[in-house]
Amino acid sequence: MKKQLIPFYLFLLLANTAFSQWTYENIKNLKQDVVINYSVTYDQKLTDKQKASSSYLREIVVILDQKHVLERSMGNGRSLGNFSLLNYDQEKIYRCYESSGYKKGISYDFKEPLIDGVLQKGEEKNIAGIPCEKYISLLKGKPVDVYTTKKIGLRYIKNYNVPGFVMQYKAYSKYLGSYTVKATKVQFLNLPKNTYSLDEYSIVSHKDYLKSIKESKQRKKELLEKSLGKKSPSFYARTIDNKKISTKKLLDKDILVLNFWFSTCPPCKAEIPKLNALKEQYKDSENVQFVAIGLDDKNTIEKFLETHPLTYDIVDEGRWLASKFDITSYPTNIIIDKTGTIQFFEIGYKSSIKSMMTNKIDELLDQ
């Protein structure tokens, strides 16, 4: 497996047990996999817009055996390929996700938790049939209840400095506010041996990940400095509808808006509605042309368009065109003015891409 969120955070505490820092003696009694379903209840009443956001959680599922804890959060836009895996033998946490059909993971060392808790003796209760102890902690300066159990045998406590396996706790979302996560169902099953496998994932350490992000930002900066305000490469192409696209003919009178994408790129898919809305906004203008340069072949693109309509003129097998602009990250959006000068060059998905491009197009139309 190669060493290569995302971040949501899991922190573990060194436990005072003779058996292990991270487990309890009764872990030896765990002969089956355990599946725990957690409900998510928000403190405030959420609007429809909030419920439709990518921050919204419906449920959390945790799967574990003697050496692993695997957590998946269920909600809007959350892929089953995105999860966190705690490996107790390695004392590592792996944040795993899928991007553009490529499975990646970032490894972190186990760390001490951030929020202390105080045991509340005599306030034990059963949660999903499991006896739990109560602790009082602080979240955003307010006291909150945290319930954990040592019956499961692993130490899994999110960011709370308490012993045991957490069965109920408070968490916080900047957009949705605080919410309660509580175990509602515990099952003992025999799951496939590859349940906790990362064989399909390319793993990078957190240190190397941060280094790659820094290098990527530097490459983007260099590309922008090289491209913005410079003459665009000229090219001739045909769309999948057999329409001729020629920069020499277009740029005498038109502003050219380019989008570089490919069909298995999640952020490319995410911005399609914004691109369609942008083109619709200028449907009455004869001086703005919209062209999407797809990397896929014609058949793949046509099949993709059946479920993800893109109203730009579309050029297939456009990797050669991407190389002309030195593009290696997707999606990338470019705006070229009537003189053939690149006036806008944005790499990666931006939720504000429509307004950003609208401002630039209007500015160029007014010149």
Ordered structural domains, the chain, with CATH: 25-210 (2.50.20), 218-366 (3.40.30.10)
Helix (H) or strand (E) holding 294: strand 288-294
pLDDT in tens, 167-183: 999 999 999 999 999 99
For residues 1 and 331, the model is more confident at: 331
pLDDT in tens, 52-69: 888 899 999 999 999 999
pLDDT in tens, 126-168: 999 999 999 999 999 999 999 999 999 999 999 899 999 999 9
| pLDDT at residue 6, rounded to an integer | 33
Asked if 168 contacts 181 with a C-beta cutoff of 8 angstroms, the reply is yes
Distance CA 157, CA 169 (A): 9
Which CA distances in Å does 159 have to 24, 93, 107, 142, 170?
Answer: 19, 13, 17, 15, 10
Nearest residue to 85 (alpha-carbon basis) of 188, 197, 209: 197
Distance CA 200, CA 97 (A): 11
pTM for the model stands at 0.69
Residue 9, pLDDT > 50, answer no
Residue 20, pLDDT > 60, answer no
Between the two ends of the chain, the Cα-to-Cα distance in Å is: 55
| pLDDT at residue 19, rounded to an integer | 40
Residue 17, pLDDT > 50, answer no
